[in-house]
Structure 1
């Protein structure tokens, strides 16, 4: 499986671009999104100084209907509504690759994470271009299943170490106490933790984003 992070620029004719660029200091975080036959449902949280005005503009937008407010404060509001222009949802559905939520939209651009096969990612790229969504690739990499990162034993030891407070500051559980809790030798516990920590840290470093703005197809083809 491959994982990609994209920054997608919305077309000027859709509500996401129009409202988010009208209020560039407001962040629109799409929490839930469900595509329908010709429309879509969205649950969106808005944060920023102009939340009230942005919600009013959303409510008045011709591509938005049935807007309701689920929660509201001076600088935050959560709303849900139907829209006739869910381009991201349609692109995701037609390429067969889900978009990881939440999606953050600000000043006309959406930060999107997707995970799928390289063929699915290439199909998504084609679909984005077909509906007028410009994008730049921030990162693309192979991502093994989580079960491949740690063995079952390593996972058990790491989870137990967290639960028992071994990684707390100050530490609530010593290595000796952790080994006793697991019923294994202290040396075995130490070695298992070290190998698991090595895998986790290397994964973390590997996932530091690459800012090179290459096209998705080019990155997929070159890897």
Structure 2
């Protein structure tokens, strides 16, 4: 299947486009999101020093019906935003593209990377055109059979767990806190970690196993 990398220009009518253009040094990392034709909900990390001002401006948009601030630390603020204009998410869902989380919006643009059947890739271009969303195809290549031990989502969750101290002794974060920080359900986080740990341990065991000795008779 072909691997595609697209730079998508978020329409100016979408609040996150306008805010990211107004604060081009700030990164808006979307950790989780869901949408239908009428509304959408997104868990977002605001990475920058203007989070308080940005949150205040969030609330000024008519299309933003609710904003909840979960926690704030140096340079990072996590919020949940409910909106009545989920244009970008709706267009991607309509094309059948599974949107990998997290993704970032910076200065009005986001990069979409996906390995898709050619038919789905074509439908994505048609859907973006129908919605009037501008995009640039940066790269398309035929993706070889993947030899990666973990999926991208497993790598992301496992890396975040390590970075946040989930595997430290004593632990610096709990499974509940880790799941909340990543914007996923506790059961989902647990399952992803369990599968990733299983693959890593099995790979370690296979690599550590002694070579088989084959006896021969003369």
The two structures have a TM-score, normalised by structure 1, of: 0.66
Conserved in 2, the CA contact under 8 Å of 1:25 and 1:50? Answer: no
Map of 1:79-158 to 2, 5 A cutoff?
A: 79-146=79-146, 149=147
Conserved in 1, the CA contact under 8 Å of 2:37 and 2:90? Answer: no
Q: More displaced, 133-142 or 23-32?
A: 133-142
Conserved in 1, the CA contact under 8 Å of 2:10 and 2:88? Answer: no
**Helix, strand or coil: the match of 2:93?**
helix
Map of 1:12-23 to 2, 5 A cutoff?
A: 12-23=12-23
**Helix, strand or coil: the match of 1:99?**
coil
In structure 2, the gaps of 5 or more residues are 150-198, 214-218
Where has structure 1 moved over 6 Å in runs of 4 or more? none
Q: Does 1:182 align with 2:213?
A: no
In structure 2, do the counterparts of structure 1 residues 144 and 88 end up closer, same or farther at CA, with 3 Å as the change threshold? farther
Conserved in 2, the CA contact under 8 Å of 1:3 and 1:141? Answer: yes
The root-mean-square deviation of aligned C-alpha atoms, in Å, is 2.6
Aligned length: 164
Shift of 1:119: 0.8
Cα offsets for 1:98-140 (capped at 9, x unmatched): 1211111011111112232111011111111211211111222
Partner of 1:25: 25
Shift of 1:145: 4.9
Conserved in 2, the CA contact under 8 Å of 1:98 and 1:115? Answer: no
Cα offsets for 1:22-67 (capped at 9, x unmatched): 1111100111011124111111100112122112111221111221
In structure 2, do the counterparts of structure 1 residues 37 and 133 end up closer, same or farther at CA, with 3 Å as the change threshold? closer
The two structures have a TM-score, normalised by structure 2, of: 0.67
Conserved in 2, the CA contact under 8 Å of 1:24 and 1:106? Answer: yes
**Helix, strand or coil: the match of 1:60?**
coil
In structure 1, the gaps of 5 or more residues are 152-157, 165-177, 187-223
In our comparison, the structure showing a higher alpha carbon Rg is 1
In structure 2, do the counterparts of structure 1 residues 145 and 88 end up closer, same or farther at CA, with 3 Å as the change threshold? farther
Q: Which structure features the higher share of helix residues? A: 1
**2-structure distance, mates of 1:104, 1:87:** 16
**2-structure distance, mates of 1:97, 1:161:** 31
Conserved in 2, the CA contact under 8 Å of 1:52 and 1:74? Answer: no
